């Protein structure tokens, strides 16, 4: 492990806005994010596979009366988002270090208002399908965690993953589906507040179009 990574892991251990193994809240936070961490009743929004947390931090700045939690397994990445949020004084931003497969161990049914998936690994090989974050097993988990009518967002530069994801959300029973294959030339761009991750900026500057979808997939979305 490099000295820089070691420093970031130490930073995570000392940062109150990072929830990870070894900290008390890691075992008690499920169903208690508002009371035990944020101390308010504001909606909770997740960014899955948040990387360095640029989108989580950007959303936290744009919407101060909403609670945002970036989720990733990579501690060295989370450390950067954690530090950025601290420097900006964002008390409505937190980071959870865990595997996304275990989300239900950290969030109770209906505890989450929205889920963002921003530029996930497309897992392109057929044998990797079950690892795609829009695979039916993940969509079923999101449906349980989201409030009734809760919203799922996906941004990706990968057209194959986007086509796959569109098919899966339609089959999941999601409603109010809106999507575009060219976000920055779409009316849907207005809801993104100009927030771009480092990789999104890179893709966009290289001429790639950004695919985006949103839909309501909460447990009672069809009622």
Confidence check: pLDDT of 22 > 50? yes
In a domain, 31, yes or no: yes
Is-catalytic flag, 121? Answer: yes
Q: CATH no. for residue 155?
A: 3.40.50.150
Q: Is 154 within a domain?
A: yes
Q: For residue 190, what pLDDT band results from cuts at 50, 70 and 90? A: confident
Which pLDDT does position 200 carry in this prediction?
86
Helix (H, G, I), strand (E, B) or coil at 185: helix
Summary mean pLDDT of the chain: 93
Q: For residue 44, is it within any domain?
A: yes
Is residue 132 situated within a structural domain?
A: yes
Calculated CA dihedral for residues 220, 53, 97, 139, nearest 10 degrees: 30
* Contact assessment for residue 141 and residue 177, using Cβ atoms and an 8 Å cutoff: no
- Asked whether residue 222 carries a pLDDT value surpassing 50, the answer given is no
In a domain, 222, yes or no: no
Query: Per the residue annotation, which of 99, 121, 176, 220 is the catalytic one?
Result: 121
Using the predicted structure, report yes or no on whether residue 1 has a pLDDT greater than 80.
Answer: no
Residue 43 located in a structural domain: yes
pLDDT at 221: 47
Q: What percent of the chain has pLDDT over 70?
A: 95
Residue 196 has pLDDT above 80, yes or no: yes
Higher per-residue confidence, 182 vs 194: 182
Whole-number pLDDT of residue 219 = 60
Q: What pLDDT score does 198 carry?
A: 81
Range 148-170 average pLDDT: 96
* Closest to 150 in 3D by CA, of 97, 221, 96: 221
**Which residues constitute the domain of residue 134?**
3-216
Q: How many CB atoms are closer than 10 A to CB 204? A: 15
What is residue 5's three-state secondary structure? helix
The confidence band for 6, taking pLDDT boundaries of 50, 70 and 90, is confident
pLDDT band at 208 (very low <50, low <70, confident <90, very high): confident
Q: What is the mean pLDDT of residues 120-147?
A: 96
pLDDT at 223: 39
Confidence of residue 207 (pLDDT cuts 50, 70, 90): confident
Residue 158 phi/psi, 5-degree rounding, is -95, 110
In a domain, 223, yes or no: no
Report pLDDT digits (tens) over 101-121: 999 999 999 999 999 999 999
Domain contains 221? no
Nearest to 66 by CA among 85, 44, 84: 44
Domain count, the chain: 1
């Amino acid at each position: 492990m490099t000295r820089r990574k070691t420093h970031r892991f130490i930073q995570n251990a000392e940062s109150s806005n990072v929830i990870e193994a070894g900290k008390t809240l890691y075992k008690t936070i499920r169903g208690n994010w508002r009371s035990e961490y944020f101390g308010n009743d504001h909606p909770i929004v997740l960014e899955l596979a948040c990387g360095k947390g640029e989108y989580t931090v950007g959303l936290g700045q744009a919407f101060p009366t909403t609670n945002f939690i970036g989720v990733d397994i990579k501690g060295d990445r989370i450390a950067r988002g954690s530090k950025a949020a601290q420097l900006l004084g964002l008390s409505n931003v937190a980071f959870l270090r865990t595997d996304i497969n275990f989300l239900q161990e950290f969030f109770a049914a209906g505890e989450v208002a929205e889920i963002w998936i921003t530029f996930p690994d497309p897992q392109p090989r057929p044998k990797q399908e079950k690892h795609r974050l829009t695979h039916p097993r993940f969509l079923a988990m999101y449906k349980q965690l989201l409030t009734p009518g809760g919203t799922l967002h996906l941004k990706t530069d990968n057209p194959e993953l986007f086509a796959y994801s569109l098919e899966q959300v339609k089959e999941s029973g999601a409603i109010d589906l809106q999507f575009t294959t060219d976000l920055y030339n779409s009316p849907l761009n207005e809801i993104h507040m100009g927030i771009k991750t480092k990789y999104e900026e890179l893709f966009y500057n290289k001429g790639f179009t950004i695919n985006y979808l949103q839909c309501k997939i909460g447990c009672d979305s069809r009622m």
